[in-house]
Amino acid sequence: MAPTRSARWRRTEAARRGGARGGGGSRNVTRMSGFKNAAVDLWKRAEVVCFDVDSTVCSSEGIDDLGDYLGKGEAVAEFTAKAMTGTMPFEEALAARLDIIRPSSGEIDKFLESDAPKLTPGIAGLVAALQGKGKAVYLVSGGFRVMIDPVADELRIPRENVFANTLFFDQGTGSYTGFDDTEFTSRAGGKARAARHIKEITKATTLAMVGDGATDLEARQPGGADIFVGFGGIVKREAVLDQADWAVCDFEELTRALE
């Protein structure tokens, strides 16, 4: 599938042709149905499926939850929204949020003890179905590895299949000192780089990316994800869903499509 001919292009083209002459409505439906069929075919053929975590695999934004726990949730959520809608470079939003909360290792440990992963309904069944068909499942997130590893454990996804950000702490005090800016997902376009890397190490010819945000959409760059499934089950980001190859609001639809 050519990444440049996205769902947005197809929808615009169908609308243009349909609006230019009478009886276009049924032709538009046919065009859209045909495009969805192509997306479903790619979904079925994908040897690797990568999932975003926050507001996709999990029903909340992990860094926002941590911010709430530390009494700084509103300020953190503002930057999260900017990052997810693409109105602020991800690396700037990540640094800004971490500068606000500056979590110590002890605070994160206590947060994780008090806040179990909030899995989105249907994700456990979908992951099991994908793995049952021999597909490799990865978690590719701009969140923090220390918070995402427990999610991977619950879904029986190997921790080596997690691509996320690593936080640094002072060995003596446990205070926050920074994050690893060499991680794929520490900056804009990182999910595309992660997708290319995963395809290289798995030798996969078809990779699917599922997510809710602009950083997930970016994975569908040349050499990256071959299909982007926009997930609107938690937050509907219209600018992202409009450009997705396939937009869904529940994971059951993706599970049924595997049958």
State pLDDT tens for residues 224-246: 999 999 999 999 999 999 999 99
Which tops the pLDDT comparison, 179 or 2? 179
> pLDDT tier at 193 (50, 70, 90 boundaries)?
very high
Q: Catalytic pick from 41, 52, 99, 250?
A: 52
Whether 41 is a known active-site residue: answer no
For 182, the token pair is 């060499």
* 8 Å CB contact between 139 and 126: no
pLDDT (0 to 100) of residue 139: 99
What is the spatial distance between Cα 197 and Cα 142, in angstroms, rounded to a whole number?
16
State pLDDT tens for residues 6-21: 444 333 333 333 333 3
pLDDT, mean over the chain: 88
pTM: 0.84
For the domain 46-60+119-257, what is the CATH code? Answer: 3.40.50.1000
Whether 216 is a known active-site residue: answer no
pLDDT (0 to 100) of residue 77: 87
State pLDDT tens for residues 90-122: 889 889 999 999 999 999 999 999 988 899 999
State pLDDT tens for residues 63-83: 999 999 999 989 998 998 888
State pLDDT tens for residues 158-172: 999 999 999 999 999
pLDDT (0 to 100) of residue 184: 96
Which tops the pLDDT comparison, 84 or 88? 88
What is the spatial distance between Cα 227 and Cα 212, in angstroms, rounded to a whole number?
14
User: Mean pLDDT, to the nearest integer, of 208-217?
Assistant: 96
- Pick from 94, 91, 53, 54: which is nearest to 76 by CA? 94
* 8 Å CB contact between 76 and 83: no
What is the number of other CB atoms lying within 10 angstroms of the CB of residue 171?
8
Contacts of 225 (CB under 8 A, 6+ apart): 50, 192, 195, 207, 208, 209, 219
Tokens 């230019």 sit on residue:
20
Q: Catalytic pick from 41, 54, 153, 226?
A: 54
φ, ψ of residue 113 in degrees (nearest 5): -65, -30
pLDDT (0 to 100) of residue 85: 82
State pLDDT tens for residues 136-154: 999 999 999 999 999 999 9
φ, ψ of residue 201 in degrees (nearest 5): -80, -25
E strand map for the chain: 48-51, 136-144, 162-165, 167-169, 176-179, 207-211, 227-231, 246-248
User: Mean pLDDT, to the nearest integer, of 126-142?
Assistant: 98
For 213, the token pair is 């945000």
Q: How far is CA 159 from CA 28, 109, 140, 164, in A?
A: 44, 18, 11, 11
Q: At residue 89, does pLDDT exceed 90?
A: no
pLDDT (0 to 100) of residue 34: 60
Tokens 């000192």 sit on residue:
177
pLDDT (0 to 100) of residue 33: 56
**What percent of the chain lies above the pLDDT cut of 90?**
75
For 69, the token pair is 């726990």
